[in-house]
Amino acid sequence: MAKEITPRSEDYSQWYLDIVRKAGLADNSPVRGCMVIRPHGFAIWEKMRDALDRMFKETGHVNAYFPLFIPKSFLSREAAHVEGFAKECAVVTHYRLKNDPNGQGVIVDPEAKLEEELIVRPTSETIIWNTYRDWIQSYRDLPLLINQWANVVRWEMRTRAFLRTAEFLWQEGHTAHATSEEAMEETLKILEIYRRFAEDYMAMPVIKGVKTPNERFAGADETFCIEALMQDGKALQAGTSHFLGQNFAKAFDVLFLNKDNQQEYVWATSWGVSTRLVGGLVMTHSDDDGLVLPPRLAPIQVVIVPIPKPVPALMEAADQIAARLRARGISVKVDNDDQNRPGFKFAEYEMIGVPVRLGLGQRDLDAGQVEVARRDTKEKANVPLAAIDEYVDQLLHDIQRNLFERAKAYRDAHITRVDTWADFEATLEEKGGFVLAHWDGTTETELEIKERTKATIRCIPLDGEAEAGACVLTGKPSQRRVLFARAY
Amino acid sequence: MAKEITPRSEDYSQWYLDIVRKAGLADNSPVRGCMVIRPHGFAIWEKMRDALDRMFKETGHVNAYFPLFIPKSFLSREAAHVEGFAKECAVVTHYRLKNDPNGQGVIVDPEAKLEEELIVRPTSETIIWNTYRDWIQSYRDLPLLINQWANVVRWEMRTRAFLRTAEFLWQEGHTAHATSEEAMEETLKILEIYRRFAEDYMAMPVIKGVKTPNERFAGADETFCIEALMQDGKALQAGTSHFLGQNFAKAFDVLFLNKDNQQEYVWATSWGVSTRLVGGLVMTHSDDDGLVLPPRLAPIQVVIVPIPKPVPALMEAADQIAARLRARGISVKVDNDDQNRPGFKFAEYEMIGVPVRLGLGQRDLDAGQVEVARRDTKEKANVPLAAIDEYVDQLLHDIQRNLFERAKAYRDAHITRVDTWADFEATLEEKGGFVLAHWDGTTETELEIKERTKATIRCIPLDGEAEAGACVLTGKPSQRRVLFARAY
């Protein structure tokens, strides 16, 4: 193999970092906690963004763009919001550099101090609701269904490429509604879009649920989420959709004239997914040979490798196959490198997760066939040249489905119903994954469980049935099971 | 009219701000110099971005993403770069807020001071070339053709929506090459992409040229640009493409092993266009009734208005027409608002610049025709229903071409060849536009002319012929005319 990856069995965490680096997804940067997203990683993010953007637009949302900076005082307006998380932020205090009088490069000009500090947005509710005050007068201005694609900064202490970085890219939707019901409907509509995106595009099964008050977004009345399970048995929060009630409308005085000619506070939602999804994608499907990508998000879906070299006859055949595949909307790369051997190239394309590889040798060509290798199972087949486009088209769908089903089988096998504290601890230690257990509904118990086991309540599943039981820690009565896990 | 716009003849600057605001392009924000890009403005920017992104990708470029923050010390590495412009920047000095012990909201935590300040990127050459050091080892790693779409911040004192804002959105390409020739070829290839985009999409004629040393990008060996002319006779720099030589490679130690097995510094280019283009678009085509958009960048290309109201029979006909237009790839809105009168709606759609409006009344329908109004000339025609899709398709092309030709006629009529200082001053004062005049080639003269007239050398046109003459100010010898103008 060209580049070694640490096996998952040896060190899952290092395996992840190896994949990120060796598949060309991201690099560390000289700025603490900030990553450089490399072209291959960014191409995956672009495909995610385009798919989500389409889904948002199909449901009536439009994009806009709000300032990067938030005046410090805005963060104090919504009390729960500032309590909850506005603290670890990048703070801009000055607006000019000058040459160091001692000739040592540049220094911050002390004369250029801002009257009020600016915060690099950690999320944009405050600045957006301050703007909505001007945009909303009457019920005719509602609903307002706006999304933005942006970078945000949260000064995380422990960072890891894609999963937790100081700066990350995301989309944040911020909608305004005339009624509570409509806002709740929007919150759940977006949650369903997130589920569909995760499952249909990322091939990553997720559980929809609602957060406990302790895990709620700061400033929300309810936070809904989708939770996925990674191969090491840890959960990943993959997206959140918040019902904000009238909290931000009250904090920023956003009133509207309703149909009865009365002033009312506006109802709000906000929702987001981020480049963290790229990390989730890696950890859901990849293996010890590199990245495994679902075809719908693969920047290159098929690579054609002439064997052993890109001689004219093979390249001509390869180009013809490529044209037939492209006519079906499949993205194809024809490898024309004449420096490396096929084995080296195969390993490289496995590393970067190209779903289907066609190996094209003269003997195959003479026999009217081509060798097709699928990345997910490593299986190979000889396929008649005449049917190759149909075959590959179908194979891409098969791979997409297989990845989802494989991930779902793993996930389903790692949801354990547990009724005793001993089993709870043992399951987390020995098996990992999601634990469905009864909880007495108090934050105190939730924190105690976290303290003892590092497991948190990922969500109260929306499709969970009511079921009387006893809290796994305290034995107090419980009405339904909730989903615990250790999480990223 | 629903909303009044200041006429251009009365106050061009206010006219521009009225259009930006009343066509829903942008709003001021509470953050000094930062704007909110509203949905309609952002939709135009998205169309620009998508077209440019396609052109970049067709020429082999890929996207990536580099950190928002740049360590302060990086800015001192390339001497000309820091001299040139790295001064008016947003500086991050702290990374945490805390609750004010006096209960007055939040304050910056003095304990959380960064060891080295971070600068919010004003442009990314330094952080990118610091990264390229790790990415480039040999000639096989070249060329590296990378672009990023990002926000940048320059602490401008006088700002104006889109044209000059503290934060703006842009793309910045940063490429690395093995030879000077190749880097220069790339620089000019991108300049030509910018010209094509400006002329073919924005319908905005531009002049390609090279900047004088005084107007060069800080750190570049040569800066090329496209220059457009606005309706008030002022020039707008619409895009720049820089040949950076080996300056950044030397500053960041980026060497590669060439084919002769020798270490060499890498050659570089960088290039960008920004949301400023939205301002240029407005000022090139719009009129006293509102925005005028070239069809290729119009978020809505055709609006169908049922007259006088959206009754079922009219809506059914409108939907059928819409379907036929959409089948041709045309974006259509069917107006179903039952509150406002047609006249009000017509004014609104003119305001936001929808290129073609179809008015659909029962009498028209009975007569088998529909009224078509074009936004650019305000002309109307009755068109047989059976041919409406063909007609509108052609009309959109006509409008696209007409806008370009109209703007080009204006621009060409405002390029004045001038040979005396008196004429130079008089032309700038009375006629405005571009002035083609001889210049002695010194920065001293260039600055003196700027001081006296506020006109700068926009560029030395690439297609200008050699022509001996005498400098319009000093009378010293000159080999060719250069392009002067007052500029945004």
B42 shares its domain with B159: yes
Interior angle at CA B371, CA B365 and CA B376, nearest 5: 160
Confidence of residue A78 (pLDDT cuts 50, 70, 90): confident
Distance CA B144, CA B174 (A): 8
CB contact under 8 A, B62 and A42: yes
Confidence (pLDDT) at A4: 86
Distance CA B154, CA A327 (A): 45
- Residue A138 in any domain: the answer is yes
Indicate if ipTM > 0.85.
yes
B169 shares its domain with B125: yes
Q: Which residue has the tokens 């206010």?
A: B14
B17 shares its domain with B162: yes
Distance CA A225, CA A338 (A): 49
Question: Shortest CA distance to A152 belongs to which of A274, A271, A252, A42?
Answer: A274
The whole-angstrom distance between A160's CA and the closest CA on chain B is: 15
B150 interaction partners in chain A (CB closer than 8 Å): 151
As beta bridge partners, residue B373 has B357, B380
The residue out of A254, A285, A316 marking a domain boundary is A285
Confidence (pLDDT) at B87: 84
Q: Which residues of chain B have pLDDT under 50?
A: 1-2
CA Rg value for chain B: 26
B231 shares its domain with B336: no
CB contact under 8 A, A82 and B105: yes
Range with the poorest average pLDDT among A69-83, A173-187, B256-270, B444-458: A69-83
Tokens for B125? 């050459």
Whether the CB-CB separation of B295 and B355 falls below 8 Å is answered with yes
Confidence (pLDDT) at A85: 64
The residue out of B221, B254, B285 marking a domain boundary is B285
B274 shares its domain with B313: no
Question: B401 touching A, CB under 8 A?
Answer: no
Residue A480 CB partners (closer than 8 Å, separation 6+): A438, A460, A464, A465, A466, A467
What SS3 state is found at B135? Answer: helix
- Residue A404 in any domain: the answer is no
Residues across chain B: 488
- Residue B295 in any domain: the answer is no
Share of chain A above pLDDT 70, in %: 99
- Residue A403 in any domain: the answer is no
B317: phi then psi, degrees, rounded to nearest 5: -60, -40
Question: Which one of B39, B43, B82 has the shortest CB-CB distance to A106?
Answer: B82
- Residue B341 in any domain: the answer is yes
Domain count, chain B: 3
Please compute the mean of the pLDDT values over residues A239-261 and round it to a whole number.
97
Q: Identify the domain containing residue A447 by its residue range.
A: 415-485
Confidence (pLDDT) at B347: 96
CB contact under 8 A, A96 and B92: no
pLDDT tens column, A270-297: 999 999 999 999 999 999 999 999 999 9
Residue B205, preceding bond cis, omega within 30 degrees?
no
CATH of the domain at B362: 3.40.50.800
For chain A, give the mean pLDDT: 96
Distance CA B373, CA B378 (A): 6
A162 shares its domain with A263: yes
Distance CA A39, CA A128 (A): 31
What SS3 state is found at A109? Answer: coil
Share of chain B above pLDDT 70, in %: 99
B388: phi then psi, degrees, rounded to nearest 5: -65, -35
Confidence (pLDDT) at A3: 61
Distance CA B251, CA B129 (A): 9
Confidence (pLDDT) at B1: 43
CB contact under 8 A, B131 and A73: no
Confidence (pLDDT) at A101: 83
Question: A75 touching B, CB under 8 A?
Answer: yes
Distance CA B196, CA B24 (A): 27
The whole-angstrom distance between A6's CA and the closest CA on chain B is: 22
Question: B64 touching A, CB under 8 A?
Answer: yes
B76 shares its domain with B148: yes
B28 shares its domain with B88: yes
Whether the CB-CB separation of A139 and A259 falls below 8 Å is answered with yes
B276 shares its domain with B374: no
Alpha-carbon separation of residue A403 from A11, A200, B68, B325 (angstroms):
23, 10, 35, 39
**B332-336 — which CB contacts under 8 Å span 24+ positions?**
B332/B300, B332/B301, B332/B302, B332/B303, B332/B304, B333/B300, B333/B302, B333/B303, B333/B304, B334/B303, B334/B304, B335/B303, B335/B304, B335/B305, B335/B306, B335/B310, B336/B306, B336/B310
Confidence (pLDDT) at B85: 64
As beta bridge partners, residue B107 has B98
Question: A111 touching B, CB under 8 A?
Answer: no
Question: B291 touching A, CB under 8 A?
Answer: no
Confidence (pLDDT) at B4: 86
pLDDT for residue A239 is more than 90: yes
B275 shares its domain with B335: no
B121 shares its domain with B200: yes
CATH of the domain at B430: 3.30.110.30
What SS3 state is found at A365? Answer: helix
Confidence (pLDDT) at B103: 77
- Residue B88 in any domain: the answer is yes
Please compute the mean of the pLDDT values over residues A171-184 and round it to a whole number.
98
The residue out of A233, A254, A285 marking a domain boundary is A285
As beta bridge partners, residue A170 has A150, A274
B22 interaction partners in chain A (CB closer than 8 Å): none
A185 shares its domain with A332: no
